[in-house]
Amino acid sequence: MSVRAPATSANLGPGFDALGMALRLYNEFEVRLRNDGELRVRVEGEGAGEVPTDERHLVVRAMRETFERAGEKLPGLDLACVNNVPHARGLGSSSSAIVGGVAAASALLGRTGPDGGPDRDGIYRIAADIEGHPDNVAPCVYGGYTVAYRDGDRWGAVSLVPDARILPVLCVPSWRLSTERARGLLPEEVPHSDAAFNAGRAALMTAAVCGHPESLYAATEDRLHESYREPAMPRTLGLIRDLRRHGRLPAVVSGAGPTVLVLCSVEEGEAVPDSPEITRQTDSIRRRAGKDWDVRPLPVEPAGVRTPSPHP
């Protein structure tokens, strides 16, 4: 069974723990069942030599959880991982592993969605339970631009198609930041005025992404989390202020950081990496970012996790 799970960018400024977007950068997992009950894990690319290659591997844990919920025991596995999503950069690498594991296990258990493809709703419920918050999980499962939420004891999500005039550009630094450290800097309470400000901006963000890209600059303003996290990533917040102040570019922290996401756009037509206007904006971002940042345009991934038919 081969599975491909995309990178994601969450929060998107004001949409803390709710908004997310899938990106065309993927982790790929190949699972082969073994009759002897043994587990073998091989990792290439990001995390090779760093992540565990035993029962603690995140894909294995997600697969085991999915099998146990179905009342089944996870069989022996050969798991091969080709990781392209940078770790600890705010691009949903852990969500990609969790979604990939749940999707592989779900397919091996014979579960499919209404269209015969992945059982996305089932995958989302389990993956969000494992992750604990849905903003990265939802776009990884459904693709596009997603609004994720909690409804009592259930997770919900709506997937929308972003305006074709928008192209995400990522500024990925060479250094890392753990999600736990970033979350640890957030206060228990915020002023009511800041909460109200973010509610309006989060609503504006959905309008901007789905038809009104001219509103992206205002829509990406945040008062709930970015400034509180500055002590852990001062260069990230410094780059965002520089891009916003001098380039009038809608720049935000991607996920928990330290990657910077810029939602570039064109006035007419489709935004593609080699179009003149996107090239101009990307070159401007590179000049301001400097050599310590990998600046890369990444189109939106429309479909989310993919699970081709199992190998014979």
Residues annotated within the binding site for ATP are 86-96
> Residue 50, exposed/middle/buried by CB under 10 A (0-12, 13-18, 19+)?
exposed
Residue 301 to residues 53, 271, 278, 290, Cα–Cα distance (Å):
28, 14, 18, 27
Assigned token pair, 187: 């206060």
Annotation: binding site: 86-96
Identify the bridge partners of residue 150 per DSSP, sorted by sequence position. Answer: 155
How far is residue 88 from each of residues 48, 226, 244, 258, 292, measured CA to CA in Å? 14, 16, 24, 8, 16
Round to whole Å and give the CA distance between 168 and 273: 9
